Amino acid sequence: MTGPAADGKLERALDGALGRALRAPNVPETFHCRLNAGLARAADSADLSTLRKRLESERREQLGTLEANYIRVRRSALGTLIGVAFAAGAAAAIALPWLRAHLGAHTPQALAWGGIALGLGIAFFEPLRRLLRRY
């Protein structure tokens, strides 16, 4: 059986096999609307100079947004750093006399191991949370 009917069956079978083997990626709900709007804008601006001006203005706008977000993140990181330093100083002022009374000469080692444990906890908290959320 050769001919258009056999070719159509083969194409449908191949499309079905590809559909089962390759899943479509998840896209945001607004993806198709934004895609159609972008295609409409591209079709409207056939003139290269207007297209270039529009793209340059979009790039400037995106760079401005990126810079504003960068400044916000820097301020947030600085505030967090100051807060953590203050909290660490207060905790050390409170805990150091108690640790010296209970641990004696082993206090520096206990602080070092505590810092290592805290650092590892901070480093591996998010990957472990993602792993646990998956299951």
State the greatest distance between any 2 C-alpha atoms of the chain, in Å, as a whole number: 92
What digits encode the pLDDT tens for the residues 4-38?
Answer: 566 788 888 888 888 888 877 787 888 888 888 88
Do 58 and 64 form a contact (C-beta atoms < 8 A)?
no
Triad 54, 25, 66: Cα angle to 5°: 35
Whose CA is closest to 82, among 74, 94, 92? 74
- Residue 121: pLDDT above 80? yes
Residue with tokens 């207060």: 90
Per-residue pLDDT tens digits for 38-49: 887 776 656 777
HSE-up of 24 (CA within 13 Å, CB side)? 4
pLDDT in tens, 76-114: 999 999 999 999 899 888 988 988 898 888 888 988 998
As given in the structure block, the two tokens for residue 40 are 């409409």
Report which listed range, 7-11, 62-66, 118-122, is most confident: 62-66
Mean pLDDT of 44-56: 76
CA–chain centroid gap for 71, Å, is 18
Give the DSSP letter of residue 2. -
Torsion of CA 121, 124, 129, 130, to 10 degrees: 170
pTM exceeds 0.75 for this model = no
> What angle, rounded to 10 degrees, do the helices at 107-134 and 48-103 form?
140
Q: Rounded distance, CA 96 to CA 122, Å?
A: 22
